[in-house]
Amino acid sequence: MKTRQIQAEAKANFSRFNPTSDKGFYESYFIRANHPTEKQAFWIRYTVFSPKNSPEKTMGELWAIFFDGNKIYPSKTEFPIADCKFPNKNFYVEIGNNILNSAQATGKAGEISWKLKFSSSDDALFLLPLSYYNAPFPKAKSIVSQPFASFKGYIKSGKEKYEINNWIGSQNHNWGEKHTDYYAWGQVAGFDNSPDTFLELITAKLVVKGIETPFLTILVLRHKGKEYQINNLGSWFLNKGSFDYFNWEFECKTKEIEIKGRIKAKSADFVGLRYHNPAGGDKNCLNSKVASCELQIEEKSKAGMPQALYSANKCAFEILTNEGQEYHGIKINF
Amino acid sequence: MKDKNIMALKSIFNFGKKKQDLKDKLVLITGAAQGIGFETALQFAAAGSHLILTDINEPLLKTAKQKLGKNNKIKIYTYAVDVSDKKAVQTLAEQVADEIGKIDILINNAGIGHHGPLEETTMETWKRLIDINIWGPIYHIYAFLPMMKEQGHGQIVNVSSGQAYFRLPSWGAYASTKMAIGAISDILHYELQQYNIKVTTVFPYVVNTGFYNDVEGDNLGAKLSMKLLPLYSQKPETVGKIIFKAVEKGKRIEMVNILNSVAKSLHFLNPVSDVFSKAANFALNGPSKNPNDSYILGKLENITNMISNLSYGAFGNVGFKVWEVMSGEHEFTKGKKGKLPFEFKVDWGPKSIIDFLNPFEEEFFCNDLEGTVTVGGLCEDAPCKGRLELKYFSEQKIRYTFDFEVDGQAYEYLGEKRNIYPWNIPYSHTTCFGELRKSGSDKVISESITHFHWDTLMTSLGSFELVRESA
């Protein structure tokens, strides 16, 4: 492996937060996983939020959602930044007494508390080409630090205690000076008929100097021991992708592979969260971790029919939008 | 008869050189415990070949087997054999026939080197060179050829050397043995075609293995050439890959490096070849026949010594020190799970800048190191002391070694920044891979990756300070 890649992986979880900067900044570490067979999932997010020109309002946020069948339990707690640690030379995040490192997460946000251990033997997955992570553009960066993380422990929601035993998901890290203007993000850690396949993608519209771009799509797929990174600048425009509430279709091609897919979920499987934007204002995140995904893969070097992969309810599907409940019907919490 | 003609035509016109699948082939490699032999074995192991490894050094052979044995799908047989012992080689062939049944490929790799003028080469040295470099391969060919003929196929690889063509003064004895095995091997190629046995002759260029460790530099030219060896030599893994590919394609001759081909071609241009050898002789030996009295290089050495002496006079033992912080994470190999902080803050620098900059000194690019170390889950800011060696030229590495103590228990840290080349300095020069052991133990208790963070660069540069011990 190249030295640059090794260094990027080693630093994947190091915080990029600079407490002395007033440019505006958010950084979040999140873990998520699905029950091996049931329609159950969790999403836990440790965040630092620092609004532009007001570094004194910087704070830590702890978020948690538990998806149990058709019920969704969201919660959030805010903490003064003095009680938080986001080290940039190792990975040991503390928000109040709640901690997250490379192997464990403990905490309590509102009615939800958790004590989890996890491990992954897979290399970090970079959604962007490596050189983009130190570049000013795009403003928001994202890494799947631990794909195919296997979780053990428990989550309590109110009085209900859920045992977590070998739930498969990921540990992720993202940061930036502002949230991407309008996007859909998706991730599948193992398809029902191809448990070793990992998919991560985003379709987004950016606003550059007041002008909105068309939908831009990038995708990284790990399938049968190979990684397909369809994420260079040229592919942003060549890949196809578009979404609405709550159906997302995409198509990416290279000389090696052709990938077509669809991610969708019922509106009842979404919960709405209000994200403060460091650049000013708020964004609405419509968040589901029990969406479905269908994928058609055609490897050019192989003869025969394209492979059809599916996940009935283990797909992460998030939409970040400015639009309120009247447009999509989802109540925005917090 | 017709088949033989077709084979001869194929060999003349290089037809039919499709890659052969080496999976499940039985490959015997001599001198396989280290260097080119080991690296070649790695290539065959990766291709799924089964290995029969021989070497005179039994402990090293065991270690090689352990390293190669990580691939459980292949079989590895090892035999401690002195290739210059005819009886031992014959016994090896009998053991292989009894225990394994056959071999598909024989690689005569084992060899030794010698550096020195012909007139100073002792008869004992000559005998040893001939025994190992010529008789060794011949014994193996005679021992295993009947088996290959019987099975109707086989491949023999003989490792010669580019020195066979360079005709460099002071490499005469070695070059002549390699020239001999090269000639034997090339002729054998044609003679064995009728039995469907391929013969490949490999001419490695200068390879950076232990092979040159024993070569002492008597004069500045030789010293310099040994110091700079890593810069112009090839890595054993590169040569291992080339040998593997040559076998895969069934090549007759593998020149390995274009410089060998150039040296070989020069022999067809007698005047050029003559000028080349004379120039090399003059540079190394000067008008005198004794390499220790090289005229040009002798002068250069004097000048270097003079500058060095003058510098000592002017600066005395002036050293410097620089502050550096390497921070990152470590993980215990047993017990506590998850990554924990790891950081060392040290002052490092040489006691003498003159020695630090002199490539002929032991202390060339070497520094003392002192500071504190924090190992999450073990200690915080424990005092540490050790060495920092800038091995840019010899190993493309920077190596940190230091000791520290926690609650009466002594620990050793060994860290390396690796694969340092000009084009990857921003990454390779800032990333250190470390291992922690209890002193005296081989067992690694923690593995770490630490980084030089760019935000500490100015502080580090600003900390530079000259240190004068004595005038």
pLDDT in tens, B365-417: 899 999 999 999 999 999 999 999 998 887 889 999 999 999 999 999 999 99
pTM of the model: 0.63
Q: How far is A2 from chain B (nearest CA, A)?
A: 9
**Shortest Cα–Cα distance, A20 to chain B (Å):** 13
A173 phi and psi, to 5 degrees?
Answer: -145, 125
Q: Express each pLDDT in A155-208 by its tens digit.
A: 999 889 999 999 999 999 999 999 999 999 999 999 999 999 999 999 999 888
Q: Give dist(CA A22, CA A16) in Å, integer.
A: 14
Q: Is the peptide bond before A246 cis (omega within 30 degrees of 0)?
A: yes
What residues of chain B lie within 8 A of the CB of A104, using their CB? 337-338
* Residue in A42, A30, A268 with CA at minimum distance from that of residue A164: A42
What is the residue-averaged pLDDT of chain B? 83
Which A positions 84-123 lie with beta carbon below 8 A of chain B? 87-92, 101-104, 117, 119
In chain B, the N- to C-terminal Cα span, in Å, equals 85
Across the interface, do A101 and B339 touch by the CB < 8 Å criterion?
yes
User: Which are the contacts of B224, defined by CB distance < 8 A and separation ≥ 6?
Assistant: B217, B359
**In the CATH scheme, what architecture does the domain B2-285 have?**
3-Layer(aba) Sandwich (3.40)
Domains B2-285 and B318-468 share a fold: no
Interatomic CA distance for residues A145 and A13, integer angstroms: 7
Backbone angles phi, psi at B406, to 5 degrees: -135, 120
Those residues whose C-beta lies under 8 Å from the C-beta of residue A216, and which sit 6 or more positions away, are: A203, A204, A205, A206, A236, A237, A239, A241
Which residues of chain B have a CB within 8 Å of the CB of A101?
338-340
Cβ contacts of B329 on chain A, cutoff 8 Å: 10, 90-91, 102
Question: Domain residue spans in chain B?
Answer: 2-285, 318-468
Mean pLDDT across B412-426: 91
Residues of A in contact with B339 (CB under 8 A): 90-92, 101-103
From the candidate CATH numbers 3.30.360, 2.40.160, 2.40.128, 2.70.98, the one assigned to the domain spanning B318-468:
2.40.160
| Beta carbons within 10 angstroms of residue B470's beta carbon | 7
Is pLDDT at B446 greater than 60 in this prediction?
yes
Whether residue B337 and residue A91 make contact (CB cut-off 8 A), yes or no, is no
Which residues, in sequence order, are bridge partners of residue B463? none
Which residues of chain B neighbour A89 with C-beta distances below 8 Å? 327-328, 341, 343, 451, 453
The pLDDT value recorded for residue B394 is 77
Compute the half-sphere exposure of residue B213: CA atoms within 13 Å on the CB side of its CA.
4
Note the pLDDT of residue B291. Answer: 45
The closest CB to that of A10, out of B328, B424, B453, belongs to: B328
Whole-number Å distance between alpha carbons of B111 and B118: 19
Closest CA to B168 of B230, B271, B260: B260
Higher-confidence position of B459 and B282: B459
Structure tokens, A183: 């996007």
Residues B64-86, mean pLDDT to the nearest whole number: 88
Residue B174 is a catalytic residue: yes
Number of H helices and E strands in chain A, helices first, is: 3, 25
Q: Which of these is catalytic: B174, B205, B400, B411?
A: B174
> How far away is chain A from the Cα of B442, in angstroms, using its nearest Cα?
25
Nearest residue of A to residue B337, measured between CA atoms: A103
Contact B225, B287 (CB under 8 A): no
**Whether B431 and A89 lie within 8 Å, measured CB to CB:** no
Residues whose CB is less than 8 angstroms from the CB of residue B297 and which lie 6 or more positions away in sequence, other chains included: B219, B220, B221, B283, B284, B286
In chain A, pLDDT over 70 holds for what percent of residues?
Answer: 100
State the pLDDT at residue B308.
Answer: 61
Q: What is the pLDDT of residue B207?
A: 66
User: Is B376 within 8 Å of B341 (Cβ atoms)?
Assistant: yes
Burial class (CB in 10 A: 0-12, 13-18, 19+), A135: exposed
How many Cβ atoms are within 10 Å of B78's Cβ, its own excluded?
18
pLDDT of residue A139: 86
Q: With the CA atoms of A279, A282, A288 and A294 taken in that order, what torsion angle do they form, in degrees rounded to the nearest 10?
A: -50
Q: What is the predicted pLDDT for the residue at A50?
A: 96
- Domains defined for chain A, CATH in brackets: 3-323 (2.40.370.10)
What is the distance between the alpha carbons of residues B461 and B452, in angstroms, rounded to a whole number? 13
